[in-house]
Amino acid sequence: MDFRVLGPLEVRRDGEVLRLGPPKRRALLLRLLLENGHTVGVERLCDDLWNGCPPPGARSSVHAHISRLRTVLEPGRGRHREPQVLRSTPTGYALSFRSELLDSVRFERSVRQAQVLADAGRVDEALRETERALAMWRGTPLADARDHPFVTGESGRLHDVKLSAEELRTALLLRESRIVEAITSAERLVERDPLREASWTVLMRALYLAGRPAEALRRYEEVRLLLARDLGVEPGPGLRDTQLAVLRHDIGALRPPPPRVAAAVQSGPAQRPAGIRPDLPGRERELGRLSELLRGAAGGRAGWAVVTGEPGVGKSRIVEEVARRACDTGWQVLRTWCAEESHPGARVLDRQLESLASQLRKLAENAHVTGPTLCVVEDVHLASDDVRGLLLTYARTLREAPLAVVCTVADLPGPATERFLAELAGRGADVLSLAPLTEAGVRRVVSAATEGPVPGDVAHRLHGLSGGNPFLLHQVLAQLRHLGPAPHPHGTWSRELRTVPPAVRSVVRARLAELSPAARQVVDRAAVTGDRPDMRLVARLGLMPLDETLSLADQAVAARLLAWSEATSPYDSQGYHFPAGLLRRAVLDELSPAHRRTLHADACRARVMTAVPMLLGGARPSVAQAADGKAVETEREVPAVPVR
């Protein structure tokens, strides 16, 4: 069979395209293909296929899709024969196939061969091989699952390798003196990814060799300002050396060997890239610290790390990247998840934790003969005291062993987990807190997703909507994907951005359900008053004291519907805000139209009551406590002002 993922998913047997079925089944097959033969648990499949919100029948649906896929992939298999392609394991499912049957592997292998030919000076052959590799692309990679966050990393990585291959092709065109074609190709590259310095370097060289040195210098200044504005950095050594070569008219330096392609295609077809994925902007420091942890463990020094952050900030994605790197370099990787006792998959996960504990015991007994091991334990805040105690025991005893342990923990984990984290930190664990993406990071993610430049105002608006939360951002992008690669702040994107994605709506409904009725009313009134609600106004709308309003708002902070930042005083109403514009919109969507209109009208009247006395020279209205405990509006006497 032949699996093709560089575009819409295709599976061919003897040249015939197989009929894979509905979109969910195709997404399931892609999810298994991405694991390169490793097992994926049923719970994780459910979470990934339904974007973190699986319905009650998700497990049954997955089993049914697996059965249909087996029929398509192995039509001649007897009823009593074990499947050889789509296998069952004790913890889930795995897809067995040779790596060369995947077109993305063949693509990277072809690019790698082109690099070898270029290094050997066989420019014409290298150019043909590069063009053959690029011809394998049929559209957006992994397109059948593009609305699912689980493909974002691999899709972005493949785009990155493609950009590297196109840069190699452009440099080879220069070596062949096909200057006009090289300039056209380089212009397309910088337009597609304006923050990619290697593309600007090739463009500057092409412009100089075309007899346009002044324009080459102008383009250097353009990218310098762009990097300073969006990333706060100066151009790297490659760009600076190219500028210096243009100023010196150093022809030799401007005709260097072709650039090295992405690390992903230099390390073999079965390996993953060691570089930063395009969908992990702003995570370079954290990935560097985790890579350092692996290096120490490979040298026999056990190391522990904890990755914390709000839901959707990318904890699982960053540990998945670290696990892939370890696996690609020959490490044994053990990975499991914790769950509450009431969770349907708790028993399966408990068995996985027991298996993990058994592996760690073996490691403790045979540290001198065991190869390096990475142990990933996700959602430790949901673990039992026994599991946390077990982990702490190994943190104390496994000091000199080729072991790295990485745990993920949600923010606001609770007292028991806080004690666990404090003891781990006291024993030298590295605690990494993932912050939301910056506006520059959002722009890079959107640019990679849309394959084109992103206007600054669009990036600013998307950052405000998502609050820099990668999950929320990807939900918005999935909703906008059908609109094409050229966003415009006043065009179709602007209209579509008013709609809350279904997955976000489900998340907000779940969080609202955690609130008491009184706290829910505070959140509703806060949403009506703006992204940074005036809590004094919210108190007046609810006819309640400010202290009580703030106490109820703290419930919403705990449920992650509101956030609070340090303000000038504990009662500064501007300390509370919605962490993402999408969350506020989702709250408003949960109100009936009539109730929303009523709250808007009440808010307008309350603002007028505040503003009019001030305009007339009087004081603000105050909130007094009535005898029955309800807050009532009273006005201080306002001196008369002559009307002119």
pLDDT of residue 487: 46
Can you say whether residue 500 is alpha, beta or left, with left for phi > 0 and alpha for psi between -120 and 50 degrees?
beta
Report which of residues 400 and 355 the model is more confident about. 400
pLDDT of residue 103: 92
Give pLDDT tens digits for 286-313: 888 888 888 888 877 888 999 998 888 8
Pair 515, 560 in one domain: yes
Give pLDDT tens digits for 474-491: 888 877 764 444 444 444
pLDDT of residue 523: 93
pLDDT band of residue 5 (cuts 50, 70, 90) is very high
Pair 70, 149 in one domain: no
The CATH number covering residue 70 comes to: 1.10.10.10
Give the domain-ending residue among 47, 79, 97: 97
Please report which helix (H) or strand (E) contains residue 407, including its range.
strand 403-410
The CATH number covering residue 233 comes to: 1.25.40.10
How many domains does one find in the chain?
Answer: 5
In angstroms, rounded to a whole number, what is the distance separating the alpha carbons of residues 364 and 356? 12
Give the domain-ending residue among 97, 123, 140: 97
Pair 251, 197 in one domain: yes
pLDDT of residue 587: 92
pLDDT of residue 274: 32
- Domain assignment present for residue 215? The answer is yes
Give pLDDT tens digits for 365-394: 654 445 688 888 888 888 878 778 888 888
Across 418-430, average pLDDT: 86
Give pLDDT tens digits for 12-23: 988 889 999 999
Give pLDDT tens digits for 61-76: 999 999 999 999 988 7
pLDDT of residue 298: 81
Percentage with pLDDT > 90 across the chain: 17
User: Residue 275 pLDDT > 60, yes or no?
Assistant: no
Secondary structure, 3-state, 479-531? HHHHHCCCCCCCCHHHHHCCCCCHHHHHHHHHHHHCCCHHHHHHHHHHHHHCC
Q: What is the pTM of this model?
A: 0.52
- Domain assignment present for residue 586? The answer is yes
Contact 147, 267 (CB under 8 A): no
Across 27-51, average pLDDT: 87
- Domain assignment present for residue 272? The answer is no
Pair 212, 254 in one domain: yes
pLDDT of residue 342: 56
Pair 135, 250 in one domain: yes
Pair 247, 168 in one domain: yes
pLDDT of residue 622: 43
Give the domain-ending residue among 433, 449, 464: 433
Pair 254, 112 in one domain: yes
pLDDT band of residue 90 (cuts 50, 70, 90) is confident
Length of the chain: 644
Place of tokens 């896929």: 69
Residue type (1 letter), 471: F
pLDDT band of residue 277 (cuts 50, 70, 90) is very low
First-to-last C-alpha distance (Å) of the chain: 88
Q: Measured between alpha carbons, how far is residue 221 from residues 204, 224, 234, 554 in Å?
A: 11, 5, 11, 48
Pair 547, 609 in one domain: yes
User: Residue 631 pLDDT > 50, yes or no?
Assistant: no
For 486, the domain range is: 439-499
- Domain assignment present for residue 389? The answer is yes
Give pLDDT tens digits for 505-531: 888 888 898 899 999 999 999 999 888
Pair 380, 516 in one domain: no
pLDDT band of residue 611 (cuts 50, 70, 90) is low
- Domain assignment present for residue 231? The answer is yes
CA angle (449, 451, 455) in 5-degree steps: 90
User: Residue 344 pLDDT > 90, yes or no?
Assistant: no
List CB contacts of 553: < 8 A, sequence separation 6 or more.
519, 522, 523, 526, 535, 538, 562, 564, 576
List CB contacts of 138: < 8 A, sequence separation 6 or more.
4, 6, 7, 8
Q: By three-state DSSP, how is residue 297 classified?
A: helix
In angstroms, rounded to a whole number, what is the distance separating the alpha carbons of residues 446 and 558? 30
pLDDT of residue 273: 33
pLDDT band of residue 3 (cuts 50, 70, 90) is very high
Angle separating helix axes 346-365 and 385-397, nearest 10 degrees = 20
User: Residue 6 pLDDT > 90, yes or no?
Assistant: yes
- Domain assignment present for residue 277? The answer is no
Pair 571, 454 in one domain: no
Percentage with pLDDT > 70 across the chain: 78
pLDDT of residue 232: 67
User: Residue 186 pLDDT > 80, yes or no?
Assistant: yes
pLDDT band of residue 53 (cuts 50, 70, 90) is confident
pLDDT of residue 453: 64
pLDDT of residue 456: 66
Give pLDDT tens digits for 21-31: 999 999 999 99
Across 314-324, average pLDDT: 84
Pair 185, 170 in one domain: yes
- Domain assignment present for residue 269? The answer is no
Pair 182, 247 in one domain: yes
Whole-number mean pLDDT of the chain? Answer: 79
Give pLDDT tens digits for 91-142: 788 888 888 889 999 999 999 899 888 888 888 999 999 999 999 999 889 9
Looking at residue 625, the DSSP 8-state letter turns out to be E
pLDDT band of residue 83 (cuts 50, 70, 90) is confident
Question: For 470-504, b where at least 16 C-beta lie within 10 A, e where not — what string?
Answer: bbbbbbbbbbbeeeeeebeeeeebeeebeebbebb
- Domain assignment present for residue 212? The answer is yes
pLDDT band of residue 640 (cuts 50, 70, 90) is very low
In angstroms, rounded to a whole number, what is the distance separating the alpha carbons of residues 71 and 77? 8
pLDDT of residue 270: 34
